[in-house]
Structure 1
Amino acid sequence: MIPVCEPTLTGKEKEYVGQCFDTNWISSAGEFIKKFEDGFSEYCGVRHGVACSNGSTALHLAVESLGIGKGDEVIMPDFTIISCAKSILQSGAKPVFIDVESDTWNIDPKKIREKINSNTKAIMVVHLFGHPCEMDEIMQIASEHNLKIIEDCAEAHGAEYKGKKVGSFGDVACFSFYSNKIITTGEGGMVITNSDEIAERLRLLRNLAFTEPRFVHHDFGYNYRLTNVQAAMGVAQLENIDNFVKARINNAKSYNEFFKNSDLVRTPICREGSKTVYWMYSVLLNQHDRDDVMNKLNEKGIQTRTLFYPMHMQPLLKEKGLVDENERFPVSEDLWKRGFYLPSSSSLTMEQIKFISETLLGVLNGNTN
């Protein structure tokens, strides 16, 4: 079976993790944590990095670090993972959902303005599948209305918008280092920011809000720390991030070449001036039953995954009264119904891409032999 995504651990991961065991620094203190934070934030062109336990906790820390809470609203895309909405709700605020663009699948800036009111405090943008959002327009909207910007870059390590790394535009930006991400620590996350004040707040919140004297608390925090062992993996992965990004881009170019003459498959566009890193190579079927096609690919040894289930369709969010039943999100619904991921690992070979592409086209053209 060709997996939809697997980590590439061919660098110094074992060596650096071994150093943690040799020195007994295996918990949330140790030299690799600062190395990873400093190295990754520098890679993104941002002053501070605050490592944490995963991408979901990174989002929660980001929202809380901005002082967002009860009575506030945060605008976010309808088409994304539930962690985005959860992080807003955890902080006591209300997520407000926006449909996405039909060509990029990212949050539609034109629809953001329609949702801004006196309770709006921030916009959460998600650089979906490694495709940068339209940041100039979004930053202009934020400036006009004095709104904070939270970037969810969990799928976009190394992506760029007009020559600038994603994660360097907002007040805070969040990354995930889960095992299927472009670089991984197994589980892990990071929040980056250029603000000294926000960075201090992030470090406080991730460590149970410990201050001096110890165990005397003036605030609640969370146990969201990353371990030195995980950070050691991150340092090793970071040494190869350019190679991983290049591999994903080359894989996407190869897929595009196979599909360029077919009207049966569509993919999100990469806007001029943007560098897309293709965390997952995602396709949209024009006329076939998605589940049937995925089952046939699975029978051929090709693993696939459906795209995200839209927020406005989530039973839990409906139960909480967060969804207006009269509001329509046609693009998000369409992407869910017709889209899925193809295998996208950095280690994917040209032979595998050829097999996957030809098999998919064969299935779509009625040839299942």
Structure 2
Amino acid sequence: VACANGTVALELAIEALEIPQGTEIIVPCRTFMATASAVVARGCRPIFADVEQASGNISARTVAPLITDKTSAIICVHLAGWPCEMDEIMSLAHQHGLKVIEDCAQAHGAEYRGQPVGSLGHAAAFSFCQDKIITTGGEGGMVTTDDETVWKRAWSYKDHGKGYDTVFHTKHEGVFRWLHDSLGTNWRLTEMQAAIGRVQLKRLPQWVETRQDHAATLTALLAGHHALRLSVPPKHVKHACYKFYAYLRPEFLRGDWSRDRIVQELQADGIPVGCGSCAEIYLEQGFQKAGLAPAEPCEVSREMGETSLMFPVHPTLSADDVTRMGQTVRGVLDRVVAETSQLKRAA
């Protein structure tokens, strides 16, 4: 079901799965805030789970302690295109009777054990906004599901509550047609945007391959530097490489160098680098004022947020662009590492 953007796609998935208002939905603390604000918009409470250090994703291990008798669903984000460990999450959800929504906003073309993301949970939400792997003219979204009843609910709600069968499979007497079997809203995607998306779908395999090539180049150039930590996905995961992450190891840096200073140095050298996804979205004032922050911080995600470097690997970059990026990063890091004696103490 195509819709206006990824945020309403999340809301639409919650609506179509008939997740009760007032219940709790477990979400990652490390994500874009829409993953959790969509939960609030549908009248539920987000419960923030910490992430695994390797992937930056939630897992069955980080989710399980948060499940209560109020829990109704889990939203798992395939962060930066790295799929969550879905077998374990789905098994945990089945054990507790929970729905699972995949947030695939950053994972178009990613696969888990040979299956495309968006086909692994009870429903999934995609985003097609301006910098995603696929974009439909600035904004766009989609809900996917293998449940026809859920699909019809989503189709109906995003178009003012029109009944699918009433529109397409019912003979109407007279000129006027009574089509709205329930109440909904207008979250439709325009036909022009859909046309753009259909063209980009054909290009997706090549685009993902180019992203993977760029990521492999950066990995080769940065691997082995003692001031960086890199993570490599397991073989059963196909990483869509929305972005490329590397993590600083502060113990190997001179005391006057922080992550932010390194980012500023790289940006001054013309390198497009940032810190990436918000590590603790519950620190946003919207969640703080609503009393939705957890009692204790998510420590793994906090550490990742303090040390992360994020680089683009989109297909409009050339191989030379990416090589220069990696060489420049390595050069800056070589200048800011601590003296040899300090490195030995850190080790």
TM, length-normalised to structure 2: 0.87
Question: Is 1:274–2:243 an aligned residue pair?
Answer: no
Tell whether the 8 Å contact from 1:105 to 1:268 is kept in structure 2 after alignment: no
Alignment of 1:179-198 (within 5 A): 179-186=130-137, 187-198=139-150
User: Does 2:311 correspond to 1:342?
Assistant: yes
Question: What is the Cα deviation at residue 346 of structure 1?
Answer: 1.4
Matched, 1:243 2:206: yes
Q: Is the 8 A contact 2:313 2:322 kept in 1?
A: no
Whether the aligned pair in 1 keeps the contact of 2:47 and 2:294 (CA below 8 Å) is no
Report the alpha carbon displacement of residue 349 of structure 1 after superposing the two structures with TM. 1.3
Question: Could you tell me how far apart the structure 2 residues matched to 1:329 and 1:164 are?
Answer: 30
The separation in 2 between residues aligned to 1:229 and 1:142, in whole angstroms, is 38
- Report 1 or 2 for greater relative contact order, CA contacts < 8 Å, sequence distance ≥ 6: 1
Residue 151 (structure 2) pairs with residue 199 (structure 1): yes
In structure 2, C-alpha distance between the alignment counterparts of 1:225 and 1:84, rounded to whole Å:
20
- Separation in structure 1 between the aligned mates of residue 309 and residue 222 of structure 2, nearest angstrom: 15
Alpha-carbon shift at residue 214 of structure 1 (Å): 6.0
Q: Which amino acid aligns with 2:88?
A: E
How far apart are the structure 2 equivalents of 1:218 and 1:224?
Answer: 17
Q: 2:126 aligns with which of 163, 175, 179?
A: 175
In 1, the alpha carbon distance for the partners of 2:211 and 2:177 equals 46
Q: Distance in 2 between matches of 1:194 and 1:238?
A: 20
Task: Say whether residues 1:233 and 2:189 are aligned partners.
Answer: no
Moved more, 153-162 or 333-342: 333-342
SS at match of 1:306: coil
Give the Cα separation in 1 of the matches to 2:277 and 2:238: 22
Deviation by residue 1:302-353 (Cα, 9 ceiling, x = unmatched): 222322221232222111111133x131111112111131122112212111
- 1:318 corresponds, among 272, 278, 288, to 288
Amino acid at match of 1:281: F
Residue 263 of structure 2 aligns to which amino acid in structure 1?
M
Aligned to 1:45: none
Name the residue aligned to 1:131. 82
* Letter matched to residue 288 of structure 2: K
The 3-state SS of whatever aligns with 1:366 is helix
2:218 aligned residue: 255
Structure 2: gaps spanning 5 or more residues = 167-175, 251-256, 337-347
Q: CA deviation at 1:210?
A: 3.3
CA contact (8 A) 1:56 1:84 kept: yes
CA RMSD of aligned residues (A): 1.7
- Name 1:160's counterpart in structure 2: 111
Residue pair 2:32, 2:277 contacting (<8 A) in 1 also: yes
| Residue correspondence of structure 1 range 52-201 to structure 2 within 5 A | 52-186=3-137, 187-201=139-153
Q: Is the 8 A contact 1:265 1:285 kept in 2?
A: yes
2:254 corresponds to 1:291: no
Are 2:25 and 2:71, in contact at CA under 8 Å, matched by a contact in 1?
A: yes
Q: Is the 8 A contact 1:302 1:343 kept in 2?
A: no
Calculate the TM-score normalised by the size of structure 1. Answer: 0.82
Q: Supply the distance in 2 between the matched residues of 1:240 and 1:195 (Cα, whole angstroms).
A: 27
- Gaps of at least 5 residues in structure 1 are 1-49
Q: Identity over the aligned pairs, expressed in percent?
A: 36
- SS of match in other structure, 2:89: helix
Q: Helix, strand or coil: the match of 2:247?
A: strand
- SS of 2:211's partner is helix
**Inter-partner Cα distance in structure 2 for 1:229 and 1:216:** 24
Amino acid at match of 2:197: G
TM-superposed CA distance for 1:217, in Å, is 5.7
Distance in 1, Cα, partners of 2:226 & 2:118: 34
Letter in 2 for 1:331: V
- Residue in structure 2 matched with residue 19 of structure 1 by the alignment: none
State the distance in 2 between where 1:59 and 1:342 align.
26
Task: Measure how far apart 1:299 and its partner are.
Answer: 1.2
Return the offset for 1:283: 1.6
Cα separation, 1, equivalents of 2:31 and 2:195: 29
Corresponding residue SS for 2:46: strand
The separation in 2 between residues aligned to 1:72 and 1:245, in whole angstroms, is 37
1:223 aligns with 2:186: yes
| Rg larger in structure | 2
